[in-house]
């Protein structure tokens, strides 16, 4: 397996700006209603996203939607990143 | 009200209200942030006066979760809908179709308006509308509501609406649960327009409005529905699972009909949007925005324009002429005094409303409208989030608070965009306490700006400190937990001058209709109190508090009496005393009157939104708190700046 094939599974809040990743799962520590909202915004399993910035909040682009997430949510969104 | 209606339904900030204006001619507030519309609006359609068009609040998710989403669900359940115009964002077809999937299940005839397709094009996104129309079985019309593009085609299709094709089959367990529940709904609680299957899906999704409707319609048989739902939930048919399947189906369909071309560089609007929330650049930009607003409203509006209106137009021309006319034509001295005396309806009531307040609120509403439409306000929620965490809220609460700087009454209604009753209660309380409306803000800026920048800054610091302290205490005392912020950033846009002008005129009209009668009533009360000798008695009675504790001239008591009617009326009373006030007195007076009771209209709105008990409790807290803070500030400033300042 070459290094390019390695896939890391990390919380969204850990990624650097500019990184492209794919949503893996929203963990149970996120409030159920908020999980529904995140899915409605497009932050659903297997969907691609780009991290735009991490401070003062995590800002991601999903399709053409810019979504800002507080750190306490971003650290419970698991993404895969190659 | 007509017997047939068409509802505009869609995700937040997709242009429903602009389209409503295009289709009816009626103007409802339109802004560039999600949550501008929190209640349904209704007007006759231009293309058919027998049809009512209904503008609904945006829904991020159905089943409805927030108060504004519930208002949309109520419209779908209770309005005599002939059809629905789903307004979707062409840049985000997946989210649009997630809602379409649910509307399809409800069986309502529909047309899909794919709005903002110009913005989508600029981002390299194109949607194959004819192919999508074939797949959905309904007309799909690309529109640019702000420019009127596609409106004629949309109107044409409204004459011939059709039911949507179902977009998906849920998994076997979910389909079994739906198949079990739908016939029970059809038997016990049939809806005149919506399908039992659609209602079953929403009920399984725990939509409170659908549940309330079914409970009422089914009567005693409701228990059977509840048992069937509980059994389905136990088998894993959860709201999240159903929403996930709709999202997946919508995503697949969207991918089929959307083409994307890569952009060589991000759009300027995109880059500006990131700068204004950048961890470094955001702060100088925020200071620049605040300074520009201060210059435009505080210096130009409250200084230059008020000077022109109050001193030149009213002071030198209108008031002398009207006073002379009244004194020579009105035989009764008391009546002449009532019209043009010290507490005269014209010389005080109308002069305050038109010469002092009108120029200030006009400039404020213009600045406010420009910022609203630019998309900047939504980004403030990101900047304010950390600060708002300290008071048990998230940055979303900054929106009603900023809107409160325009009008606290309307902003109280806007708290419906917040997701929990606790957030709403804290935000409404803080707005009633420490958020000055535009008129009051203008008077404050006019008075304190005329003294010094540091006086203005002291007032701002005092208000922020009170807001934070009161919020911190409220968050500790009101049970419940804080909800972390997740919010969409609308695109930054150049404001359309026509829309800003329309909003400003609409707000001014609303403001004058509310303010002039209250200012006249307030003046009348002051006149009567003065004539019967009660005003001097009130001033004497208030002396220990107003002069002793707050350190203000005893005449300021009259301003607080006026403040009971409207805080800005009271602030204007202090403004009129400005020549007698030292800088410390001006700051203390303005802080106290800013914290003082909210205006009558705001109190009514608080009663409407929170009930009489909570509104009364808020008032009982706010009045003594205002005097407590004012007195403490008075003593603090005298210690720091010296008694002579």
Chain centroid to CA B222? 37
Interface contact B488-A52, CB threshold 8 A: no
Residue ranges of domains in chain A: 3-81
Interface contact A36-B383, CB threshold 8 A: no
Helix %, strand %, coil % of chain B (to 5): 70, 10, 25
> Which of A33, A68, A72 lies closest to B65 in CB terms?
A33
Joined tokens for residue B198 = 């659609």
Long-range contacts of B624-630 (CB under 8 A, 24+ apart): B625/B433, B625/B470, B625/B595, B626/B592, B626/B593, B626/B595, B626/B596, B626/B597, B627/B545, B627/B549, B627/B550, B627/B592, B629/B462, B629/B466, B629/B591, B629/B592, B629/B595, B630/B549, B630/B550, B630/B588, B630/B589, B630/B591, B630/B592, B630/B595
Interface contact B277-A53, CB threshold 8 A: yes
pLDDT at B599: 76
Q: What are phi and psi of B39, to 5 degrees?
A: -135, 160
Neighbours of B639 (CB within 10 A): 9
For the entire predicted model, the pTM comes to: 0.79
Residues from chain A that touch B282, judged by Cβ atoms under 8 A, are 56
pLDDT at B459: 93
pLDDT at B37: 61
pLDDT at B28: 66
Residues from chain B that touch A67, judged by Cβ atoms under 8 A, are 486-489
Residues B392, B519: contact at Cβ < 8 Å? Answer: no
> Which of B244, B273, B385 lies closest to A56 in CB terms?
B385
Q: Please state which CATH class domain A3-81 belongs to.
A: mainly beta
Rounded distance, CA B636 to CA B645, Å? 12
User: In this model, does residue A23 exceed pLDDT 90?
Assistant: yes
- State the DSSP H helix or E strand holding residue B374, giving kind and residue range, or none if neither: helix B358-374
pLDDT band per the 50, 70, 90 thresholds, residue A17: very high
A23 min Cα distance to partner chain B (Å): 13
pLDDT at B490: 86
C-alpha separations of A76 from A11, A16, A26, A69, B80 in Å: 6, 16, 6, 11, 43
Q: In what order do the strands lie in the sheet with B486-489?
A: A8-11, A77-81, A20-26, A48-53, A58-62, A65-69, B486-489
Rounded distance, CA B405 to CA B290, Å? 13
Rounded distance, CA B608 to CA B603, Å? 9
The 3-state DSSP class for residue B36 equals coil
- What is the residue-averaged pLDDT of chain B? 87
Residues from chain A that touch B247, judged by Cβ atoms under 8 A, are 39-40, 44
A63 min Cα distance to partner chain B (Å): 7
Joined tokens for residue B412 = 């109280």
Instruction: Find the residue in A nearest to B395 (Cα).
Output: A70
Which residue's structure tokens are 């707000």?
B507
Residues from chain B that touch A32, judged by Cβ atoms under 8 A, are 239-240
Cis amide prior to A56 (ω within 30 degrees): yes
Instruction: Find the residue in A nearest to B283 (Cα).
Output: A56
Which residues have CB under 8 Å from B523's CB, separation 6+?
A: B343, B344, B345, B348, B349, B352
Domain limits, CATH 3.40.50.300, in chain B:
4-163
Rounded distance, CA A78 to CA A76, Å? 6
pLDDT, tens only, A43-62 = 988 889 999 999 889 999 98
Interface contact A63-B278, CB threshold 8 A: no
Joined tokens for residue B68 = 């504004």
pLDDT at B3: 66
Chain B residues within 8 Å of chain A (Cβ atoms): 60-61, 65, 91-92, 94-95, 98, 120, 123, 125, 239-240, 243-244, 247-248, 251, 273-274, 277-279, 282, 381-383, 385-386, 394, 419, 483-489
pLDDT at B12: 87
**Beta pairing, strands B51-55 & B4-10:** parallel
Check CB contact of A47 with chain B, cutoff 8 Å. Answer: yes
Give helix B497-531 / helix B567-576 axis angle, nearest 10°.
Answer: 70
Rounded distance, CA B131 to CA B154, Å? 17
Residues from chain A that touch B240, judged by Cβ atoms under 8 A, are 32, 35-36, 39
Residues from chain B that touch A47, judged by Cβ atoms under 8 A, are 251
pLDDT at A1: 52
pLDDT at A5: 61
Interface contact A70-B247, CB threshold 8 A: no
Which of B12, B420, B423, B486 to substitute to test the interface with A, most A CBs within 10 Å? B486
pLDDT at B506: 83
Angle at B554 between CA B550 and CA B555, to 5 degrees: 120
Successive 10-residue mean pLDDT values, chain B, 645 residues: 82 87 76 64 86 88 84 92 93 92 92 91 90 92 89 88 83 94 95 94 94 94 94 91 90 91 71 87 90 82 84 90 90 89 86 83 86 87 90 88 80 81 93 86 81 88 93 90 88 85 84 80 85 83 88 86 77 81 91 85 84 93 93 92 61
Instruction: Find the residue in A nearest to B378 (Cα).
Output: A68
> Which of B60, B278, B383 lies closest to A40 in CB terms?
B60
Joined tokens for residue B204 = 């399984």
Interface contact B485-A47, CB threshold 8 A: no
Residues from chain B that touch A40, judged by Cβ atoms under 8 A, are 60-61, 95, 98, 243, 247
Mean pLDDT of A16-39: 90
Joined tokens for residue B490 = 């609308």
Residues B422, B343: contact at Cβ < 8 Å? Answer: no
- Determine whether domain B4-163 maps to CATH 3.40.190.10: no
pLDDT at A24: 93
Residues from chain B that touch A36, judged by Cβ atoms under 8 A, are 61, 65, 239-240, 243
Which stretches within B544-642 are classed as H helix? 556-563, 567-576, 583-595, 600-610, 612-641
Check CB contact of A38 with chain B, cutoff 8 Å. Answer: yes
Please tell me the CATH code under which domain B172-260 is placed.
Answer: 1.10.287
Angle at B558 between CA B552 and CA B563, to 5 degrees: 100
Largest CA distance in chain A: 40
């Amino acid at each position: 397996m070459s290094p390019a094939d390695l896939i890391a599974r990390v919380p969204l809040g850990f990624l650097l700006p500019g990184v492209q990743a794919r949503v893996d799962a929203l963990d149970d520590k996120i409030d159920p209603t908020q999980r529904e909202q995140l899915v409605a915004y497009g932050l659903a399993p297997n969907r691609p996203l780009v991290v735009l910035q991490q401070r003062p909040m995590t800002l991601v682009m999903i399709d053409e939607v810019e979504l800002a997430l507080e750190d306490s949510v971003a650290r419970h969104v698991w993404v895969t990143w190659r | 009200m007509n017997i047939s209606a068409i509802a505009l339904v869609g995700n937040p900030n997709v242009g429903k209200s602009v389209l409503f204006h295009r289709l009816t001619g009626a103007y409802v507030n339109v802004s560039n942030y999600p949550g501008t519309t929190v209640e349904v609006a209704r007007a006759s359609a231009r293309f058919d006066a027998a049809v009512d068009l209904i503008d609904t609040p945006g829904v991020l998710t159905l089943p409805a979760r927030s108060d504004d989403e519930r208002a949309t669900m109520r419209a779908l359940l209770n309005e005599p809908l002939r059809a629905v115009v789903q307004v979707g964002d062409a840049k985000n077809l997946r989210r649009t179709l997630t809602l379409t999937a649910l509307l399809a299940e409800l069986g309502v005839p529909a047309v899909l308006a794919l709005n903002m397709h110009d913005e989508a094009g600029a981002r390299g996104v194109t949607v194959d509308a004819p192919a999508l129309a074939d797949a959905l079985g309904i007309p799909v019309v690309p529109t640019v509501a702000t420019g009127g593009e596609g409106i004629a085609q949309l109107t044409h299709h409204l004459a011939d609406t059709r039911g949507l094709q179902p977009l998906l089959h849920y998994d076997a367990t979910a389909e079994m649960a739906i198949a079990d529940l739908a016939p029970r709904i059809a038997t016990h609680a049939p809806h005149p327009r919506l399908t039992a299957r659609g209602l079953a899906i929403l009920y399984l999704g725990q939509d409170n409005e659908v549940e309330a409707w079914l409970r009422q319609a089914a009567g005693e048989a409701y228990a059977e529905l509840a048992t069937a739902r509980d059994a389905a939930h136990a088998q894993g048919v959860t709201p999240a699972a159903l929403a996930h399947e709709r999202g997946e189906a919508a995503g697949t369909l969207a991918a089929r009909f959307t083409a994307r071309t890569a952009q060589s560089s991000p759009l300027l609007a995109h880059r500006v949007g990131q700068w204004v929330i950048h961890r470094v650049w955001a702060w100088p930009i925020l200071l620049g925005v605040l300074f520009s607003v201060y210059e435009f409203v505080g210096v130009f509006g409250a200084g230059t324009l008020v000077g022109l209106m109050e001193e030149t137009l009213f002071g030198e021309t209108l008031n002398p002429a009207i006073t002379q006319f009244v004194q020579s034509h009105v035989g009764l001295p008391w009546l002449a005094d009532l019209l043009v005396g010290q507490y005269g309806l014209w010389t005080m009531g109308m002069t305050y409303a038109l010469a002092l307040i009108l120029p200030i609120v006009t400039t404020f509403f213009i600045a406010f409208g420009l910022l609203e439409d630019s998309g900047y306000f939504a980004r403030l929620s990101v900047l304010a989030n950390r600060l708002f965490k300290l008071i048990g809220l998230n940055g979303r609460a900054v929106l009603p608070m900023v809107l409160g700087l325009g009008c606290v009454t309307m902003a109280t209604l806007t708290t419906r965009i917040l997701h929990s009753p606790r957030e709403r209660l804290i935000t409404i309380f803080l707005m009633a306490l420490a958020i000055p409306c535009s008129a009051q803000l203008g008077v404050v800026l006019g008075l304190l700006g005329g003294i010094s920048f540091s006086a203005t800054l002291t007032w701002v610091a005092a208000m922020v400190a009170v807001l934070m302290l009161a919020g911190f205490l409220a968050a500790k005392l009101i049970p419940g937990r804080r909800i972390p912020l997740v919010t969409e950033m609308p695109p930054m846009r150049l404001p359309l001058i026509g829309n800003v002008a329309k909003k400003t005129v609409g707000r001014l009209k609303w403001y004058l209709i509310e303010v002039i009668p209250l200012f006249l009533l307030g003046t009348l009360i002051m006149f009567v109190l003065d004539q019967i000798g009660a005003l001097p008695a009130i001033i004497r009675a208030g002396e220990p508090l107003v002069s002793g504790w707050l350190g203000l001239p005893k005449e300021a008591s009259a301003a607080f009496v006026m403040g009971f009617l409207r805080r800005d009326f009271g602030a204007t009373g202090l403004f009129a005393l400005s020549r007698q006030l030292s800088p410390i007195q001006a700051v203390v007076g303005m802080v106290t009157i800013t914290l003082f009771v909210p205006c009558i209209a705001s109190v009514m709105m608080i009663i409407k939104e929170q009930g009489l008990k909570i509104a009364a409790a808020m008032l009982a807290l706010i009045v003594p708190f205002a005097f407590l803070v004012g007195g403490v500030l008075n003593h603090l400033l005298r210690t720091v700046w010296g008694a002579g300042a």
